[in-house]
Chains A and B, each alone.
Chain A
Amino acid sequence: MSEDEEDIELRALQRQLDDAFETTRPRRGFEDQLWLRLQARRPFWRRVQDGLAAVVDRAREVPAVPAAAVAAVLIVVIGVGVVSLSGLKLGGAGSVATTSGVQPAAGNFAQALAPGSFGALPSPVLSSTSSSPLDFGPSKVATAPAADQSVRANPVYLGPTTLTWTGKLEVNATQAPVFRYQEPTGAFANQFAASLGAVPAASAGSGYLGTYSGQDFTMSVRSSSGAPPGEPTFALVPTGADRQASQNTPSNAALALLSAHNLAPSWVYTVSVGTAGDQVRVNFLRTFAIPGQGPAHLVDGVGDRYGLAVDLKGGQPVRAAGPLPLSLDSAAYPIITANQAVHAALASSPAGPATIDPSPAVNLTSAELVYAVVHSGDTLLPGTPGFYEPCFLFSGTFTYNGTTYLKRVLVPAVDPSQLNS
């Protein structure tokens, strides 16, 4: 080999090494996870210091606001900040919620858990529109008899009832994180699809950010749904080799499909499996960690847990649907006490119309902290924020005409002073 040829070969190798080190990155979500862990270790005084700096920065960005008003806001925020921060116990690695994202590294970065920094929040509610955010067309699998709390056999009744409470609710946390995402653009959906090796296949229909075709799959990406509120989602349908994959359990088959397409959840989940005939749905139920309280499941518009779902037929995956991996910011908000939550549940307005007359009496017997998606407005334009907010989900059953109904009540966990009126 001549000296020139050797030189060319070494330069090519250097370029490969540059690429190798440039493209080697941790799994999605790790960057945000680690940052949250680092934030959790910050001393109290530094959190206060940064909180004040953020307020001052924001005041500087709004010169039209009179100085006196800024000063008044500062006093209020300082008060709230000190009270909030003093109770902030983020714990160590185990107490950090994972987040996910497919944006470039520089954009994939969780904000610090600044208290209340998203401002006043919209309130989560249950919705009489009962479809799940993950329902893409007719392939919905019926839920199985309850082997897991996430699957239910009873219909949910959201109409008016007379409520009592005999359950037990313990709330240790005084604050909980609220997570915020931005409604993605079509370009983001294209980028996400490209990361899976898919290209645009056809013009996207209303409510969709794009439809795509890959080597062995088709995929659609949908923007947030308004009613019931849901985050942006993807649905992938394997069309080729994936369908021949054979695994010993539905969960393994589901995970194999997700892993093959780089879609395995980067967030913490629990698994539930439901069957209906020859169809099986494996649910990777998403959870968010509440420091001092533990994991809280994400629930949909009727209070059912959800996350990423894989449908299988004859042991082979036929569809996967789940939340679009988005970058999440987080901010700590004060939450109400267990007593306040119970009072709010008993005084709550019905989330649906009256279809049973007279209004049944229902004894609520259980409650848990959960997360629900909320949007800040009716319009879901790209860039507008959506939130994962903590709530209390109360449940009880009653029987009417031989049918046992499940009554659910959703109460925002965030302190009412932090919610839009």
Chain B
Amino acid sequence: MLADRPTFEDLYRDYMGRIYAYVRAQVSTSADAEDITAQVFMNAYRAYDRFETRNITPAAWLFRIARNATTDHFRAHGRRERLRRTIEHQPVAGEDPAGMAEERIQYRALLEFVALLPERQREALSLRHSGLSFEEVGVLMTCSEDAAKMLYHRALKALRESVRQGEA
């Protein structure tokens, strides 16, 4: 095993919940979030032997896989439909009531507003609040640390406006 690389078990234990939360902020159903999260860790498991911490932190590496998996999901399922459902705040057909009850989300409304942000803002904000540093956010979004900070702050202000309008 490479030096200072966590075991995959540790990685899973530390990040499974955070990856799920990140994905859940992007998609509209817990079932989709579970599928994508599962895919993320399947992909990560397959690629873990090749992962080296010299170039990227384990967190950034995992979130990059999560970001790619989420993009693949939208590509396959259509982002427009997801947005329409979110905007209309409709209950999603096929969302299992038991699953909804079991899923632990205390700020569902806030995450729905997050989902409405422009894509890059939403990602910057989600990655940052998933525990990544601005440097890591920048690496993932292929921009500088400062650019990531600006993107994040724009996202935060946009979110505040959305929440205000939603409350009005």
Contact = CB atoms under 8 A, between A and B. Distances in A.
A interface: dominant SS: helix
A398 B33 CA distance: 53
B159 interface: yes
Interface in A18-36: 18-28, 30-31, 34-35
Contact of A20 (B42, B101, B111): B111
Contacts of A20: 21, 25, 105-107, 110-111, 114, 129
A30 B21 CA distance: 13
Chain A interface residue number, banded? 35 or more
A19 B108 CA distance: 11
Given A10-B160, A13-B163, A26-B37, A38 B106 contact: no
Nearest to A112: B9
Contacts of B17: 25-26, 31, 105
A27 B105 contact: no
A41 B104 contact: no
Given A41-B45, A109-B13, A26 B125 contact: no
A37 interface: yes
A35 B44 CA distance: 13
Interface in B89-118: 97-107, 110-111, 114
B19 to A, nearest CB: 10
Nearest to A256: B97
Interface-central residue, B30, B37, B99, B101, by most chain A CB under 10 Å: B101
A27 B126 CA distance: 20
Interface string A236-273: 00000000000000000001101110101110000000
A22 B24 CA distance: 12
Contacts of A348: none
Contacts of B24: 24
B101 A262 contact: yes
Contact of B126 (A21, A22, A255): A21
A339 interface: no
A255 B9 CA distance: 34
Interface string B10-25: 0011001110111011
B133 interface: no
A38 B130 contact: no
B156 A10 contact: yes
B165 to A, nearest CB: 14
B16 to A, nearest CB: 6
B160 A264 contact: no
A9 interface: yes
B111 A255 contact: no
Interface of A: 9-10, 13-14, 16-28, 30-31, 34-35, 37-38, 41, 93, 105-106, 109, 112, 255-256, 258-260, 262, 264-266
23 contacts: A14-B129, A20-B110, A20-B111, A21-B126, A23-B104, A23-B106, A23-B107, A24-B20, A24-B25, A25-B21, A25-B103, A27-B30, A27-B99, A27-B104, A31-B16, A34-B41, A38-B12, A41-B42, A41-B45, A109-B13, A258-B98, A259-B101, A265-B98
